[in-house]
Structure 1
């Protein structure tokens, strides 16, 4: 059993001494180490989440950029198709076919980019 001795002359608190005090201090150190380990684990976990969020955001922006460029290109191809169709009405069906193939190819590029960047 541990003895109790006064902590200081001004204080009425008592501090345990003896074997019980050693066990108690060891338990306190162990608890403190466990709490510190939990805090380190939490910081590492939060850092990993932050990095993952940044990567996902960059992927989303990259896919969006590819899609945006493809849409602008399709709009320009469609505009050119219309202008050339007015200049040469006999070529309208062929121009439409070429414009459709171009649009489908661009859609495939966007799809491939999304698949590659989504990994």
Structure 2
């Protein structure tokens, strides 16, 4: 039997809640990451889970700035889409509500790098 503890203020969001990637999202991201590591393009990653955004950062080397960031911002779900891929210079490379389509921009860059 599971006992649910009531929230102190029903109807209000939990102030300690964090945005995170679910299992399906992580499978897509880590699948792409694994292919890039096997190709020798990427070496390390980091994840941050904050109140408004979850970030998967991709590094070419461990001690540098991320070359790409994959962000999930649920508040943008109904506007531009909750997923985005951001380049090293802060430019948004692709944004949308379908993670697989958004990750396609990195998949194409990876294919070009291998050829």
TM-score by length of 2: 0.27
- Report the structure, 1 or 2, having the larger helix content: 1
**Greater gyration radius:** 1
- Report the structure, 1 or 2, having the larger strand content: 2
